[in-house]
Structure 1
């Protein structure tokens, strides 16, 4: 069954990683956040709120519809007084207009059927000249072949039915760009990104992460026995990496829209 974002059991599932240099470098090439006000829409466990603070943002606001996620994010970012979290709806945030220099929507829009309402709200919240960064996977990103780096690819190799779930919820690049332009953005650029997700000391650490379904909503579509079989399958494919470092990477698409 789909992940329950409101469950206490999932409070820290999106707070257990850090933003890696591949992501930080990409964002820095897009915009300098030093001294800026940043909003993270659908912030989950606050991983990227923390990254923005470390990159020099003046203030970061994280908003998520799950009170449990916000609790996990607050704990994750407790040492950063410049970060504030609020529980709210990304389609109608109740946050003040023309407030933010930079807004991020990372791994959010595949949970939304109404892109225009989300993008219209984002446009309202941005200052003139503000930057909106949308990061999500297209179906092409999702179905990259499996390897010792692209672990996600094995999910679909073992359980092809998961492809149907992804096809149903993933927006293609044309749809995203058209929705951004329709709400008023006049400049939209698209970039591919291969992002380091996490570095594991070896196979056992990876297996533990997979079995916990950490930060992987698609794995909540599997029963416990199915997940155990998947992890065993991956273990057999990566048996030569049992005591070697494993660098997991994910493929993404980033759309950058500017408010005139």
Structure 2
């Protein structure tokens, strides 16, 4: 998927981050008054969520000018959120100036050496004692079976070839933990969390999101006909209302000494 294309400009915007994510972050960190950098911010959804969690300010960074344009359209009038077009591995932001560096759903697009480079940049940005939080999925996360509240699992049941795509691009927990250590970060811990992505009062809302491939880059591996068939299959499986769409994530946390 080309993150620089106007066709995907709003793919990672236009929804609200669930309060369970805010609650989880507040359990891990005393967020109040902190200054945050979000590496790979996309449409800025989680920048607003950090403010909701209590952060004083957030700088969202993304290499895609298209994504940053969408983020600025949504949040550009706020004084506590700002955005920059830059490589997450070399942001150009001031060093030793932030309390938290956060990155969500980014490292699976990177080789391991690039993950280490991102973490070294996080180290440079942080004040001593600052925290790094990296949220992404491992192979174990994405290949959990499909269920009415884990819709992503149905993708792989119907199209097993998508499993190979995921296995190739997902890093093991131990590999990412090693990258943290190589970047000079310490006290690395690993959390697992379920995050509600969206809730739908009826199937039509979910259907619209799936057909638009909204926020689900793996669906770009399917043709339009295959995607329509997948949606029809998921419709048969979902009888409950409302529909709660959740994903399991792995979160690595560490401290700059």
Length-normalised TM-score, structure 1: 0.96
Please name the residue that 2:196 is paired with: 196
Give, in angstroms, the shift of residue 161 of structure 1: 0.5
Q: Where does residue 248 of structure 1 map in the other structure?
A: 245
Give the Cα–Cα distance (whole angstroms) in 2 for the partners of residues 92 and 211 of structure 1: 35
Q: Secondary structure at the match of 1:15?
A: coil
1:180 matches 2:180? yes
Instruction: Determine the structure 2 residue equivalent to 1:73.
Output: 71
Moved over 3 A (4+): none
Q: How far did 1:54 drift?
A: 2.1
Q: Which residue of 2 aligns with 1:44?
A: 42
* Equivalent position of 1:35 in the other structure: 33
Tell me by how many angstroms 1:19 deviates. 1.2
User: Residues of 1 paired with 2:161 and 2:200: CA distance?
Assistant: 28
In structure 1, what is the Cα distance between the partners aligned to 2:141 and 2:232?
A: 24
Structure 2 stretches of 5 or more lacking a match?
Answer: none
Partner of 2:208: 208
SS in 2 for 1:254: strand
SS in structure 1 opposite 2:88?
coil
Residue 182 of structure 1 deviates from its aligned partner by: 1.2
* Kept in 1: contact 2:59–2:83 (CA 8 A): yes
State the alpha-carbon separation in 1 of the partners of residues 77 and 236 from structure 2. 40
Structure 2 CA distance, aligned partners of 1:53 and 1:209? 26
For residues 70-219 of structure 1, the aligned pairs below 5 Å read 70-113=68-111, 114-219=114-219
Whole-Å separation in 1 of the counterparts to 2:165 and 2:175: 18
What is the TM-score with the length of structure 2 in the denominator?
A: 0.97
Q: How does 1:219-234 map to 2 (within 5 A)?
A: 219-234=219-234
1:78 Cα shift? 3.4
In the alignment, is the contact (CA less than 8 A) between 2:137 and 2:170 conserved in 1?
yes
1: CA distance between counterparts of 2:184 and 2:76?
A: 36
| CA distance in 1: counterparts of 2:231 and 2:195, whole angstroms | 22
Secondary structure of the residue aligned to 1:13 is coil
